[in-house]
Amino acid sequence: MSKGYDAIIIGAGIIGAAIGYELSKRGQRTLNVDMLPASGYGSTSNSCAIIRVYYSTLDGCAMAYDGYFYWKHWTDYLNAGAGETLAAFHETGNMVMKTKLNDGLRKQLAHLDALGIPYEHWTSGDILERFSFYDLTSYAPAKRLQDPDFGEPTGGEIAGAVYFPKGGYISDPQLATQNIQHAAQRVGADFLFNRRVVEIPTQGDRVQGVVLDDGSRIEAPVVVNVAGPHSYKINALVGADRDMQISTRALRQEVAHVPAPQGVDYASLACVTSDSDAAVYTRPELGNNILIGSEDPPSDEHSWVDPDDYDRNFSDQWTVQAHRLAQRFPSLGIPNKLKGCVDLYDVTEDWIPIYDRSCVDGFYLACGTSGNQFKNAPVAGKAMAALVEFCEAGNNHDARPMRYRLEHLDHEIDLATFSRLREVNQNSTFSVLG
Ligand SMILES: Cc1cc2nc3c(=O)[nH]c(=O)nc-3n(C[C@H](O)[C@H](O)[C@H](O)COP(=O)(O)OP(=O)(O)OC[C@H]3O[C@@H](n4cnc5c(N)ncnc54)[C@H](O)[C@@H]3O)c2cc1C
């Protein structure tokens, strides 16, 4: 591993692997370094891997819709050979409840209209016709279990939903990452596992490569921080946090898996759901289970942690998420044996990622993915590869931000949306919904 590279990517999660793939396709010699034993072993491995097209910003929606097409045509994206085991895209669509909290998704739908992204309005009758096990009583705002008002109706019913047919989920996010790793290796990329980056040497204002925990030094004029929840530690190593207006930190999350109500074949019947009245999102999970994630309501305290030292056991957060879904599915059984996962988001102030250069020449940022960028990994890979070339060619991205033309829709993303120097975006939901 003494040879030099054109670019070193710190991290081999879904986004790190995608950046390695795209830079390699452009003829660069790349190395992804990860301290874990395989690609997609970090926070990507526990991603709910939901693919959806609605975000609070126009560029967010555009990027997600462009991303949808890579998942839809996964074999083509990877240029995968026959017989290769690939992650499956379950295109179930997404049903999002219209609530007071999300204002019936008015803002998001305006973006979708502008971009020509399809959706349908469903009445509460349409919901019940498809999912007879639903109770549409309103319980908002979400409460903790200890609250004596937990489970008490607060007036009225869910008014209906918006259904987005172009969406669903990836069954195995780690396999998807390994698919990209193999695609990248086919075009010449290298991957190094079980090695931690401990130092990022610089000379003048420019990055020189990385030093690993075994003392070895690998040279490269470009280093990309795709370290997920560890991103802030990597930025601190090289002083890249000096001018960042937007920072990143690690937020602990619990995801619950509970068996579907008796007699319900959830995988074939249900779709991905988002319900801000109950403050949970769901998707089918293997074994006729339902995966339940949290939409982070104000009643739940944020648990900011050190990514190298946090509690991986379930807490009462698991139980509250399960009970919140039980408000919607009264026949849901909640088992005593807790299943699911505990992992970390890498969160920015406005829950919108950073895809940018840094104040250190040659050091780039693809971080702060805020629990909502798995779906965008193929697009992020392409945009970051283009950004690296743009900046390395001498363009001043901070003064005149690069625009990235999406491949599947007639839209250019203004990368200033994802700048480290941006003001906090007040249009955000300030939640995992981005
Ligand atoms: C519970 C959960 C649910 C989610 N659900 C969704 C969803 O439904 N839809 C969606 O779009 N997104 C979702 N996300 C977000 C999505 O999974 C992430 O945005 C995405 O996986 C981030 O990928 P990454 O490659 O940037 O980071 P990671 O997968 O975190 O990879 C970073 C890698 O960097 C490595 N690393 C860190 N420090 C060092 C170092 N010093 N040296 C070497 N290696 C290092 C780590 O080992 C790790 O493998 C979810 C995330 C979580 C945690």
Most informative mutation of 369, 375, 431 for ligand 1 (most atoms within 8 A of CB): 369
Using CA atoms, how far residue 178 sits from 45, 80, 90, 291, in Å, is 11, 12, 18, 23
**Percentage of residues in the chain with pLDDT exceeding 90?**
96
Distance 216 CA to ligand 1 centre (A): 25
Q: State residue 186 phi and psi, 5-degree precision.
A: -65, -25
In terms of Cα–Cα distance, which of 71, 47, 87 is closest to 166?
A: 71
pLDDT of residue 3: 67
Closest C-alpha to 64, from 54, 73, 56, 74: 54
For the chain, give the mean pLDDT. 97
**pLDDT tens for each residue of 290-340:** 999 999 999 999 999 999 999 999 999 999 999 999 999 999 999 999 999
Cα gap 354→360, rounded to integer Å:
15
Q: Is the pLDDT confidence value at 193 over 50?
A: yes
Give the Å distance between the CA of 111 and the centre of ligand 1: 27
Residue 175, CB half-sphere, CA atoms under 13 Å: how many? 11
Which tens digits make up the pLDDT trace of 124-178? 999 999 999 999 999 999 999 999 999 999 999 999 999 999 999 999 999 999 9
pLDDT tens, 80-137?
999 999 999 999 999 999 999 999 999 999 999 999 999 999 999 999 999 999 999 9
How does residue 429 score in pLDDT terms, banded at 50, 70 and 90?
Answer: confident
What is the residue with the minimal CA distance to atom 41 of ligand 1?
A: 197
Q: Coil, strand or helix: which one is 245?
A: coil
Ligand 1 pocket test, pick from 45, 271, 367, 373 with the greatest ligand atom count within 8 Å of Cβ, gives 373
Question: What pTM, to 2 d.p., does this model score?
Answer: 0.98
Buried b (16+ CB within 10 A) or exposed e, 196-225: ebeebebeeeebbbbbbeeeeebebbbbbb
Residues 6+ apart with CB under 8 A from 204: 361
- What pLDDT digit, counting tens, does each position of 325-378 carry? 999 999 999 999 999 999 999 999 999 999 999 999 999 999 999 999 999 999
Examine the pLDDT at 1 and tell me if it is beyond 70: no
Measured between alpha carbons, how far is 163 from 119 in angstroms, rounded to an integer?
A: 6
